[in-house]
A = this chain, B = another copy of it.
Amino acid sequence: MPDRHPGFLSVMVPAVLIRALALAAAGAVFLLPLARSAPAAPAIGHFTLANGLEVVVIPDHRTPVVTHMLWYKVGSADEQPGKSGIAHFLEHLMFKGTAKNPAGRFSQAVATIGGQENAFTSTDYTGYFQRTSREYLKTLMEFEADRMTGLVLTDANVVPERSVILEERNMRVDNDPSARLSEQVAAALYLNHPYHHPTLGWRHEMETLNREDALAFYGRFYAPNNAVLVVAGDVTADEVKTLAEETYGRVERRGVFGPRVRPQEPEPIAARQVAFADPRVTQSSVQRSYLAPSAARAKPGEAEALDVLAHVLGSGSNSLLYRALVVDKRLATNAGAWYVETALDLSRFGVYATAATGVPLSKVEAALDEVIVAFLERGPDADELERAKSRMIADYVYAQDNQATLARMYGAALTTGLTVEDVLARPARLRAVTADAVREAARLYLDKRRSVTGYLVKDIKDAAPHEEKRS
């Protein structure tokens, strides 16, 4: 399942594709005994093996469970032109086995010991994770280290898997009008940067991906010195270090990985609009994406200000957009805003609204714009600012409660240009956000020239954007 922003349509989220492979039996209590006491900030372990593998250890001794994640610093934005989808295809193919561990053995082992496993691909990273009882950590590491170099692909196991990813695209995008529109919005938003192509890939290119493509991508990007290991759970940094050296440590460093340089965007200068009509659409909606800096690319404090901005404007039923469009004016059945902080390059800020039955989309968009224009004038008031900050800091604290969420926080940070310190500093940085900083971020980035507005309608005749008032 894709990542979800709270209260937000799944289709507008960043393209992180996750698949649950072998879910443990529901209700296996020993796996999920969520302790509700407020956890202390963990003492993070952070070191690098001789072969370049970066390791992060997040001790969490509440239960005898470990979460083991291996993150590669490669995603769909690192694909070469014409090969869209190869990062995600390789993620699937990583389950096809090695000489030492033939297809299925790794997954079966995880299932046998009552574990869970998952894999995910985004624009910037590809990750593999398992969660098991703590005593199996070394086993997980042995399996994962083995497939870092030992993958065996044949046409016999590659070709059928290609049908699987095509079917996945069918299900997730082609049969979902809002996902199709989101793909078009991203393609129109990024004029030059590879974020313009979908992580799943364009269908016509996916159809041509083959064994050689997968092995070339694997050979180029899968190496200990291009990966980050994140282990969270009932372990110490020293234990993890020893185990990692005995397993991953035996994999040789390969290639040289400098800064990840992708084609960058020209200065955005023109507002864009995309209309997509599909007879399956039951409620029209409007979504707008603005180019906005990611945490890795922002000036100090700016990403946190954008984050607060998204919360004030559009997170939950108390947000400005929801109150104005849904509660007060009854023009929409949903409305909100979001910001993707985690990205190696230029990221996105979004707003959206779903029209109430019978309300023209032009009216909904006009109301949405009114909220933004008013906000640019006044910024957040003291109460709005404090509520948003408190809630976000609380969210951060609650996230410590979930081992996998916590591990993902670090993995995503370290594969998108951030550091362990950046993750730890988040509450303090949120606390420091001022009303002026939020308003300034809104003024800088909620500029239509940086944006693409998408209209999702049943009939193209309903897609007419609203006529703006002349001054």
Q: Chain A residues in contact with chain B, CB under 8 A?
A: 80-82, 84, 180-181, 184, 187-188, 191-192, 194, 196-197, 202-205, 261-264, 266-267, 269-277, 362, 448-449, 454, 459-471
Contacts and interface: CB of A to CB of B under 8 A. Distances in A.
A233 B323 CA distance: 75
B471 A266 contact: no
A462 B468 CA distance: 8
Given A180-B269, A204-B267, 12 more contacts: A80-B81, A81-B81, A81-B262, A184-B269, A184-B270, A184-B272, A191-B197, A192-B202, A205-B263, A270-B454, A271-B275, A272-B275
Given A191-B184, A192-B197, A461-B469, A81 B269 contact: no
Contacts of A463: 271, 468
25 contacts: A80-B81, A180-B270, A181-B270, A184-B269, A184-B270, A188-B272, A192-B196, A192-B197, A202-B266, A203-B266, A204-B264, A271-B275, A272-B274, A273-B273, A273-B274, A362-B467, A448-B460, A449-B460, A461-B469, A462-B470, A464-B465, A464-B467, A464-B468, A466-B467, A467-B467
A346 to B, nearest CB: 12
A110 to B, nearest CB: 36
A84 B466 CA distance: 36
Residue in A202, A203, A270, A471 with the greatest tally of chain B CB atoms within 10 Å: A270
A468 B180 CA distance: 23
Given A192-B202, A362-B467, A464-B468, A270 B275 contact: yes
Given A461-B468, A463-B271, A261 B82 contact: yes
> Which of A261, A271, A454 has the most CB atoms of chain B within a 10 A radius of its CB?
A271
